[in-house]
Amino acid sequence: AQSVTQLGSHVSVSEGALVLLRCNYSSSVPPYLFWYVQYPNQGLQLLLKYTSAATLVKGINGFEAEFKKSETSFHLTKPSAHMSDAAEYFCAVRLGGGKLIFGQGTELSVKP
Amino acid sequence: KAGVTQTPRYLIKTRGQQVTLSCSPISGHRSVSWYQQTPGQGLQFLFEYFSETQRNKGNFPGRFSGRQFSNSRSEMNVSTLELGDSALYLCASSVSGGAGYADTQYFGPGTRLTVL
């Protein structure tokens, strides 16, 4: 069965520091992977997605993620955190028929 | 292009009642999926509709049902509400959802359901 594990339910960084949010997937077939962000009292917004075209995927707001098949990972990074990045981040794997399986989420805090 | 809209945004019901939530997808999108989000269970897939047919279903009891209309708008219904049904219900739409595994799902703002 396909699944997603996000390591660390809470991550805290200082403004300007590197952001690294970890995601590992379990899939028997080449996966389609997504990162979404959720701000308080809002829905989910797509940050980026991996569809096998390139292993390094660039998204919105300066985020990027690298697909590593050997490590079954799809970690999200941003070189320099901004206060506005504080939110909850979800990694997800796409199954057929419009079904996304989400990780438990990582809440990112950014300290001034 | 307008995004996914969900109505109502907030809802308070009592145990035993039933509720209907509505979702209007992005124009041209034919797939609508529903998710339940709770602090304990996270984001869980409820079901997906495509061309008025339920194409996929998650592991929820039969009290949770849905439908899709010819204009792709979708509704979900929860009957005999329980306290544990309190959650944020999110709707997402995509172009096809099925053949296009890479289809992006675009989410609405959600409906916050509180069951007292």
- Dump pLDDT digits (tens) for B42-95: 999 999 999 999 988 999 999 999 999 999 999 999 999 999 999 999 999 998
The chain-wide mean pLDDT, for chain B, equals: 93
Question: Do the Cβ atoms of B102 and A49 come within 8 Å?
Answer: yes
Run of H or E residues at A97: none
Which residues of chain A have a CB within 8 Å of the CB of B105? 34, 46, 98, 100
Output the CA torsion sign for B63, B45, B56, B47.
Answer: positive
pLDDT of amino acid A26: 87
Question: Do the Cβ atoms of B108 and A34 come within 8 Å?
Answer: no
Which residues of chain B have a CB within 8 Å of the CB of A45? 107
Q: How confident is the model at residue B2 (pLDDT cuts 50, 70, 90)?
A: confident
Which residues of chain B have a CB within 8 Å of the CB of A42? 109-110
The set of residues, in sequence order, having a beta carbon less than 8 Å from that of B39 and lying 6+ positions away, is none
* pLDDT higher than threshold 60 for residue A106: yes
Q: What does DSSP say about strands A10-14 and A106-111: parallel, antiparallel, or unpaired?
A: parallel
Residue in A with minimal Cα distance to B49: A98
Question: Do the Cβ atoms of A34 and B104 come within 8 Å?
Answer: yes
Whether B104 contacts chain A with CB within 8 A: yes
A25-66 pLDDT, tens digit each: 987 666 789 999 999 888 999 999 998 778 899 999 999 999
pLDDT of amino acid A23: 96
Rounded distance between C-alpha atoms, residue B70 and residue A44, angstroms: 26
Rounded distance between C-alpha atoms, residue A101 and residue A23, angstroms: 12
Mean pLDDT of B15-31: 96
Rounded distance between C-alpha atoms, residue A63 and residue A41, angstroms: 22
